Amino acid sequence: CYTSEALQEAGFIPFNGGFASAAREAFSSFSALIFIGATGIAVRVLAPLVNDKFSDPAVVVIDERARHVISLLSGHAGGANALTRYLAGMLDADPVITTATDVNELAALDTLAFQLNARMTDFRAAVKTVNQMLVSGKRVGLWCDAEFTEALSRCDQRGFIPVSDLARLPALDALICVTLR
């Protein structure tokens, strides 16, 4: 935990070189960052470092009165949305999550893939396409080989249409298959 020298206590690391320098160092060193303060400050400090939602750390901002916990960066892939929910629960604060699938109370393909430790061809394009289809109300089926049934049952599947038999597909706009084939 980084803090200013004026507020430093046991277990805290002082801002060596100032807040911006410490934030940049943390961005490249940790899988998740929690800022306490204004979102704008976090954005300005981190903007030059932001690269990719699949490789950037989770970034969460908590206002100084702990009323709002904001998922700022890497919501799905980095885990910022889950961290936001967790912290908001601990603080009895409002979680602020703006990813389209979450706002629409739907699962997201990237989150599902991470939960299953799954890989797919052209992950970026698949995630973008399928998540947009879900948000747009398209019918996206979800089928898995029997060996994945238990693991899939523990995953968020909201918005996906369960498919149990590939020989009897319902009307779908897309189908996600979880398999080793």
| Structural domains of the chain, count | 2
Q: What are phi and psi of 85, to 5 degrees?
A: -60, -45
Q: Given this model, what pLDDT does residue 119 score?
A: 86
Q: Are residues 6 and 94 in the same domain?
A: yes
**Are 121 and 172 in a shared domain?**
yes
Domain hosting 129: range is 109-178
- Answer yes or no: is 50 within a domain: yes
Q: Are residues 117 and 59 in the same domain?
A: no
- Over the stretch 36-85, which tens digit does the pLDDT of each residue have? 999 999 999 999 999 998 899 999 999 999 999 999 999 998 999 999 99
More confident residue, 141 or 12: 141
Do 119 and 85 lie in a common domain? Answer: no
Integer angstrom CA distances of residue 174 from 78, 82, 144, 169:
26, 27, 14, 11
